[in-house]
Structure 1
Amino acid sequence: MLKRIFTVTAIGIMLFANIFPNARAQTAAPLTREELQAQIEQKNRQLDTINNQVQTAQKNLEATQNQTRTLQKEITQLNGSIKQLDLNILGDAISVQKLNLEIDSLNYDVKDTLSSIDDKKQAINKLLVELQKNDGGAPNLLMVLLKNGTLADSIMETQSMVNLRSQLSLDIQNLSGLSRTLNDKIKQSSQKKSEVQLHQKNLAVRKEIAADQTATRKITLVQTKNQESTYQQQLADLKKQQDSISDEIGKAEDQLRASFNTGLLPTKRPGVLAWPLPPPIRITQHFGEKSYLYRNKPHNGLDIGIPIGTPVFAADDGAVVAVDNNDRSSRQKYQYGKYILIKHDNNLTTLYAHLSRQIVSAGANVKRGDLIGYSGNTGYATGPHLHFGLYWAPSVIMKSIPPAAGLVPIGVVVNPEDYL
């Protein structure tokens, strides 16, 4: 029985050695552990400073959203958004540097763990050899007594073999623990490499969005000729058109609500849906609240204040049913602007509106937490935010409502906070 255990253990050691054949091939970081840790802490301090500046800029932007709309206010908001984007671009670059330093530090841990595994393997092999010399480690007391001649020597030899077996058992347990540690370290390294890729993607996208915001600022000044009166006339025309769109949506919603069956909705409870944005969450307008922007009509979704270019994630598994844009230009902005609509299996459909970028296509299947786009300020909005809408899925229709471009999603709206 003991021989079988030793054989299985030895095979397990060889198999484990083959699981990570390239682990030792990793290039050691040129910095020491202490230097790496010092640089990681420095990057953390830099990120804290940047995050504080981003949050301050966001609060300043949100403070202006309820102010009277003027040309100067819009230019101030555009400048604020560009500043936020520049800060977040810098933050992404520093995050990539920090993650790479953490990966280098993990490489040290992997190297040390592999060295400990090698030591344990050698110790186990040595114990196996010693025990094999004694007939597989099963002491025959009569043979030991005849060989040694005295009872004391026989007892000492028998105890020595018992100690060898105990040490072997302990070494095998330690080896098992080291293997789990190695797996954890390699998993952490893999996760950090995925985070590096995400930050690199965010950085590239945010640079594009910053260029868009700069272009919008220029177009705004050119088309208004930097005149407040021209700007106000354009604003009045836009509001009149948007009011007409809102009226048509309201009529369609009333008709759809007549067939609304609340029994088909999932039970209201937290966690049915995940928040579509990373924390911290700042709700600027709750579902059902009234606002001058919507002529004191109840708000049909949840507005979350967030800097332009913030990653937006799918609230649950589902199928992307629409990826569209209601804007005709940077000055003719209607309803939801760039939006994504996802249908879920629980009779709910989620809407992600006012985006700056959409990175999924209609017909795609997404998982809860998948990156689907980036927040923005497209559509009819007073400032950067995400409009998160929730519909009773069977009621959703897509309708053309000029002058809005594309199709506008309409359906029986549900309070998102009942499921977040």
Structure 2
Amino acid sequence: MHGAYHKGIALYVLVTIMTGSFVVVRGAETPPEIKTAIEKKRQEEQELGNQIKAVQGALETTAGEKQTLQRELTQINSNVKQLDLGIRYSKTAAEKLGYEIQDTQYTIEESEERIEIRKKDIAEMLRQVQQKDYSEGPLMSILKGKSLTDAVGEIQALIEFQENFSQEIRELQGYTVELDQHLKTAEEKKHQKEVETENFKNKKVILDQTKQYQQQLLAQTKNKEQIYQNSLTELKKKQDQIDIEIARLESEARKDINISALPKVDTGPLMMPAQGRLTQGYGATPFALRSYASKRHNGIDIAAPIGTPIYAASDGRVVGVADQDLYCRKGAYGKFVAITHYNGLTTLYAHLSLWKVSEGQEVKKGDVIGYMGSTGFSTGSHLHFTVYATPTFKIAPAAKSCGPKMPFGGDLNPFDYLAK
């Protein structure tokens, strides 16, 4: 009689456990309209991305053509179109991320419900254990005259109880890890949405500036090719003078580079500062031999649509921000940002359309510091990226008529320090 009673209690607890284990959470499912909205925005984003790439392809096709007024005006018109598409792209991307955040929130709520159910199941199991008297072990039950069948049944019930209790704990742990991942995803998407919203605003600023430059160009040339060509001749002389002066200073600075004080080559301390296509490498490149008076390129060039975000290559402090076009339009780096890192390296980001940092500001690796453009000595939207040995780096007046801030120093091959 007593053995059957104990066995019945054990089976009751087991049934209670297994019933709790199969609870299905249905209250936190993402509404279908949100899933539909995400897919619609994804398709819009993809289509806009394809259009931006098409405009960029057309711009790169004409990059090697002779410089004429009409060619530059056509290039500006393409930049305006590209920026307009980029503005729509960032708006769409931010909207898509907003829907994805809602979707993730429903998933978080579902995980929280699962965790709550598992906690209740475990609490109920512990309550049942506390109510049940296990002071008599199975062996004592046999010695007191209970049947072997009843004792074995109790042992089996206890084993099954223990196994199911362990399963409940494992599931609780799994749901907790899952919830943590969903929370991280939500935070990442919120950050991405903030970035795209900021990109949307900044691309509108860049668009306005591009249109203003178009009007200035037409006013200066009076839409006449000869005036434009005459200005190009004078510009080339100025570019060559600046290039030779900087090359001389950097040649001297390279002699002072202490390699032992720098990060080891190929350890990848720097991230790629922009997405795009590599259009020029470091050193005596074919383009440098053909186009630069110094016959040398002190960095690398990455081409992408105007308004493409530029990222800090590593943690550091902004040590220089300037617009050289105010002093020598199209003569040098145009709008640039310089960052000194905590590893012996300093990086330069040039030809920006817009910067988003200020001197003295601390930045983290991957922070948006500006946007790609074609300011300074540039034939199309790209980022010029130079890596210097910090002890050799300076920002000072270094070229006549190019303003008070010229970055120069002992330059290094960026590929030696960029992450592969």
Q: 2 CA distance for matches of 1:111 and 1:138?
A: 42
Partner of residue 18, structure 1: none
Contact 2:247 2:294 in 1 (8 A): no
Contact 1:308 1:385 in 2 (8 A): yes
Partner of residue 417, structure 2: 419
- The yes-or-no answer on 1:218 pairing with 2:215 is yes
**1:194-213 counterparts in 2 under 5 A?**
194-213=191-210
Q: 2 CA distance for matches of 1:113 and 1:188?
A: 13
**1:2-401 counterparts in 2 under 5 A?**
32=31, 34-135=32-133, 139-141=136-138, 144=141, 149-269=146-266, 271-278=268-275, 281-288=276-283, 289=285, 290-295=288-293, 297-328=295-326, 332-400=329-397, 401=399
Identity between Structure 1 and Structure 2 (%): 38
Indicate the SS of the match to 1:283. strand
1:117 is displaced (CA, Å) by: 1.8
Residue 88 of structure 1 aligns with an amino acid whose one-letter code is: G
TM-score when normalising by structure 2: 0.86
Partner of residue 7, structure 2: none
The superposition leaves residues 363-408 of structure 1 with CA deviations (integer Å, 9 ceiling, x where unpaired) of 2222222221111111111111100011222222223123213311
Residue 68 of structure 2 aligns with an amino acid whose one-letter code is: T
Q: Which aligned segments of 4 or more residues in structure 1 are displaced greater than 6 angstroms?
A: none
Indicate the SS of the match to 1:327. helix
Q: 1:253 to 1:160 in 2, by over 3 A?
A: closer
Indicate the SS of the match to 2:126. helix
Partner of residue 22, structure 1: none
Residue 237 of structure 1 aligns with an amino acid whose one-letter code is: E
TM-score when normalising by structure 1: 0.86
Residue 221 of structure 2 aligns with an amino acid whose one-letter code is: T
Residue 271 of structure 1 aligns with an amino acid whose one-letter code is: G
1:237 is displaced (CA, Å) by: 2.0
- Worse-matched range after superposition: 161-170 or 207-216: 161-170
5+ long unaligned stretches in structure 2: 1-26
The superposition leaves residues 178-235 of structure 1 with CA deviations (integer Å, 9 ceiling, x where unpaired) of 1111111111111111110000000000011011111111111122111111111222
Q: 1:259 to 1:109 in 2, by over 3 A?
A: closer
Q: 1 CA distance for matches of 2:343 and 2:252?
A: 23
The superposition leaves residues 21-57 of structure 1 with CA deviations (integer Å, 9 ceiling, x where unpaired) of xxxxxx979x62x433333223222222221221221
1:297 is displaced (CA, Å) by: 1.1
Q: 1:129 to 1:345 in 2, by over 3 A?
A: closer
Aligned-pair RMSD on alpha carbons?
A: 2.3
1:150 is displaced (CA, Å) by: 3.6
Contact 2:255 2:410 in 1 (8 A): no
Contact 1:337 1:378 in 2 (8 A): yes
